Amino acid sequence: MAESAARTGMFNKDHPKYKWVALSNTTLGMLMATINGSIVLISLPAIFKGIKLDPLQPGNVSYLLWMLMGYILVTAVLVVSFGRLGDIYGRVRIYNMGFVIFSIAAIALVFDPFTSGAGALWLIGWRVIQAVGGSMLFANSTAILTDAFPANKRGMAIGINQIAAIAGTFLGLIIGGVLAEIDWRAIFLVSVPIGVLGTIWSYKSLHEVGSKSPGKVDWPGNIVFAVGLTSLLAGITYGIQPYGTSATGWANPWVLTGIIGGVVLLVGFVFMQLHTKDPMFNMRLFRIKAFAWGNFAGLLASVGRGGLQFMLIIWLQGIWLPLHGFSYASTPLWAGIYLLPLTIGFLVSGPISGTLSDRFGARIFATGGLVLVAVTFVALLLIPVNFNYAAFAIITFLNGVGSGMFAAPNRTAIMNSVPANQRGAASGMTGTFQNAGNSLSIGIFFSLMIAGLADTLPNALRSGLTAHGVGTAVANQVAATPPVGSLFAAFLGYNPVASILGPTGVLKSLSTSNAGALTGKTFFPQLISQPFHSGLVIVFIAAAVMSLVGAVASLSAGGKYIHLETSPIGTQQPAEAMSDV
């Protein structure tokens, strides 16, 4: 069908409509893939209730972590491989396969036949398969756009595409919150018609217009990279679980083995790629200043953005919304709604900054955007935990504006700087940095928050519980509970005190007034407000520093870079021939 269209000129690269077909289709694919990355995040209480599983039971924490992390981790690991396969066999071919796999997995998720642990494993397994399809979409969408649009129009196109991708992570929160109120299966069902229509449309409308890079598949490189990155990210993920008497698992030998082993394998991967005839990824692309510094800045921005998302959800669901009269059961939906200014900021600034970067280069927008993001992290520390929403909305809107200013110009500069026959692998590597940053943010910021809570939350819990009739022995036992339990409960929209005290039977022995006060809407939020702010100071200062370092990296990347197609692959000179325009 695609070849027929090409012969008739209907969707020929030179046809003025083809680039818009490519933009709309790839934007739909990216939006669908990123919405599905976060839609489960907000819907976990409804999903686990639907399959009759308590995620806060000690034996079920692994199910919780893999439901949270499986999709993100797999996309981080596979996008480079699928980007390289796109360079070899055709980006549209791999992209189309991604739509097919994604749609099949979406259908399987709806019809989970099991409950309890088996039901969770079914969902986790098909989410992993869905992530394979999502990786194919991630890896090749930007490369398809770069092929379809001329260099002086790519910023606008990639701006729309990337802001849709980033905004999808927040739209997923809203959509998931709404659908979770209807039926947990609807969370997965929503992707089915979109996936089927997208599959048909992509097979009918897209065709290969870019340069291929013939070669063999580097299976040793693919395997070493996949095992190394999986080991590293899984180790960091499990680092947030308690180990022994420690509030976190960073001293766990398995965690240390995973992290150290992952780093060793990734270092070995770099060495292998430099000495392989047909490497999975051309490491010499990092000689290009715009590519190297742009990806480094993108990694830091992704870590900060992921950390912000998780911290704001805990802040809203665990403290602010209950204090303002919302039930814990309804907080996931309302958290998504109250985060709308953040999404709107993305949508407003992304396409505009992408378009302007075509004319003025990426440096001013990418650098300025991350500086603005850093300022908003500091501003969030200056407002009280029980904030005035107008101030919160303005700050989060500006954070979204800053992230939008950075994302589109940075990705455009990266893609413009590489040779045409390396665009798939380059897009995949950029996607790896983005998705790995999201995965890293959970381990990094949860650990920082736990470190901030560890010194103050136990005493606050102990005094608060004994003041409402709980015995000293039980209060001490609860105070010794690792803070991660309270964080997960707040993150999932559960009442943390009810989740902690319920299994002990203590609530039944208390007076009606004390039991009602402990499990009400204000006790835990008021109890955790000060400890939470102590943790928030550590988290957001770290995020602000990362954003500023990313801004310096964006500044170092230079101005406007466009790779000259006649230049040798991997050289720096052609990319700088049009720098600082």
Shared domain check, 113 and 14:
yes
Residue 401 lies in a domain: yes
CB-count exposure of residue 231 (10 Å: 0-12, 13-18, 19+): buried
pLDDT for 515 equals: 83
Shared domain check, 223 and 213:
no
Q: Which amino acid is at 454?
A: A
pLDDT-derived band of residue 559, with 50, 70 and 90 as boundaries? low
Shared domain check, 393 and 329:
yes
pLDDT for 376 equals: 96
In this structure, of 11-25, 45-59, 217-231, the range with the lowest mean pLDDT score is 11-25
Shared domain check, 337 and 191:
yes
Q: Is 426 helix (H, G, I), strand (E, B) or coil?
A: helix
pLDDT for 372 equals: 96
Residue 453 to residue 449: CA distance in whole angstroms: 6
Helix, strand, coil % (nearest 5) of the chain? 80, 0, 20
Cβ atoms 44, 187 nearer than 8 A: no
Q: Kindly tell me the sign of the dihedral angle through the C-alpha atoms of 556, 561, 567, 573.
A: negative
Cβ atoms 73, 439 nearer than 8 A: yes
Residue 512 to residue 517: CA distance in whole angstroms: 8
> Residue 554: which CATH number?
1.20.1250.20
Q: Which of 228, 251, 279 is the last residue of a domain?
A: 279
pLDDT-derived band of residue 575, with 50, 70 and 90 as boundaries? very low
Residue 136 to residue 130: CA distance in whole angstroms: 10
pLDDT for 390 equals: 95
Query: 571 versus 449: which is more confidently predicted?
Result: 449
Q: Which amino acid is at 466?
A: T
Shared domain check, 259 and 210:
no
Shared domain check, 290 and 146:
yes
What's the token pair of residue 26? 């790839």
Residue 298 to residue 409: CA distance in whole angstroms: 11
Domain count across the chain: 2
For the residues 27-50, what does the mean pLDDT come to? 82
Residue 473 lies in a domain: no
Residue 501 lies in a domain: no
Query: 25 versus 150: which is more confidently predicted?
Result: 25
Q: Kindly tell me the sign of the dihedral angle through the C-alpha atoms of 163, 123, 70, 133.
A: negative
Q: What is the dihedral of CA 162, 167, 172, 177, to 10 degrees?
A: 180
For the residues 69-80, what does the mean pLDDT come to? 82
For the residues 511-522, what does the mean pLDDT come to? 83
Q: Which residues pair with 246 in a beta bridge?
A: 243
pLDDT for 563 equals: 54
Residue 494 lies in a domain: no
For the residues 316-342, what does the mean pLDDT come to? 84
Shared domain check, 230 and 210:
no
pLDDT for 382 equals: 93
Is 80 exceeded by the pLDDT of residue 124?
A: yes
Query: 422 versus 292: which is more confidently predicted?
Result: 292
- DSSP-assigned states of every residue in 317-328: IIIIHHHTT--G
Give residue 232's domain range: 218-279
Which letter does DSSP use for residue 316 in this model? I
Residue 460 lies in a domain: no
Residue 97 lies in a domain: yes
Residue 74 to residue 281: CA distance in whole angstroms: 18
Work out the end-to-end distance of the chain between its first and last CA atoms, rounded to an integer number of angstroms: 41
Residue 505 lies in a domain: no
pLDDT for 1 equals: 42
pLDDT for 532 equals: 83
Residue 536 to residue 315: CA distance in whole angstroms: 9
Q: Which of 260, 279, 298 is the last residue of a domain?
A: 279
Q: Where are the alpha helices (DSSP H) in 316-422?
A: 321-323, 331-338, 340-360, 363-382, 389-416
Shared domain check, 410 and 266:
no
In this structure, of 235-249, 280-294, 365-379, the range with the lowest mean pLDDT score is 235-249
pLDDT for 415 equals: 80
For the residues 347-368, what does the mean pLDDT come to? 82
Is 70 exceeded by the pLDDT of residue 7?
A: no
Is 90 exceeded by the pLDDT of residue 383?
A: yes
Cβ atoms 293, 431 nearer than 8 A: no
Whether the model clears a pTM of 0.75, i.e. scores above it, the answer is yes
Query: 245 versus 83: which is more confidently predicted?
Result: 83
pLDDT-derived band of residue 359, with 50, 70 and 90 as boundaries? confident
pLDDT for 281 equals: 76
Is 80 exceeded by the pLDDT of residue 333?
A: no
Shared domain check, 203 and 274:
no
* Residue closest to 404 by CA, chosen among 236, 49, 164, 567: 164
For the residues 130-155, what does the mean pLDDT come to? 83
Report pLDDT digits (tens) over 173-232. 778 878 887 888 998 998 898 888 889 988 888 878 766 667 777 788 888 888 888 888
* Residue closest to 141 by CA, chosen among 95, 187, 202, 97: 95
Shared domain check, 316 and 263:
no
Cβ atoms 165, 34 nearer than 8 A: yes
Q: Which of 279, 298, 331 is the last residue of a domain?
A: 279
Cβ count near 349 (within 10 Å): 26
What's the token pair of residue 251? 């001293």
pLDDT for 357 equals: 78
Residue 84 to residue 392: CA distance in whole angstroms: 42
Residue 161 lies in a domain: yes
The residue with tokens 């999502």 is 134
The pLDDT mean for the chain works out to: 81
pLDDT for 581 equals: 39
Shared domain check, 285 and 275:
no
The residue with tokens 């639907």 is 50
Is 90 exceeded by the pLDDT of residue 391?
A: yes
Is 80 exceeded by the pLDDT of residue 422?
A: no
What's the token pair of residue 156? 């606008």
Shared domain check, 196 and 321:
yes
* Residue closest to 569 by CA, chosen among 454, 343, 417, 397: 417
For the residues 20-31, what does the mean pLDDT come to? 86
pLDDT for 290 equals: 85
For the residues 541-556, what does the mean pLDDT come to? 91
Contacts of 449 (CB under 8 A, 6+ apart): 311, 314, 483, 487, 532, 535, 536, 538, 539
Phi first, then psi, for residue 500 (nearest 5°) are: -80, -45
Which letter does DSSP use for residue 229 in this model? H
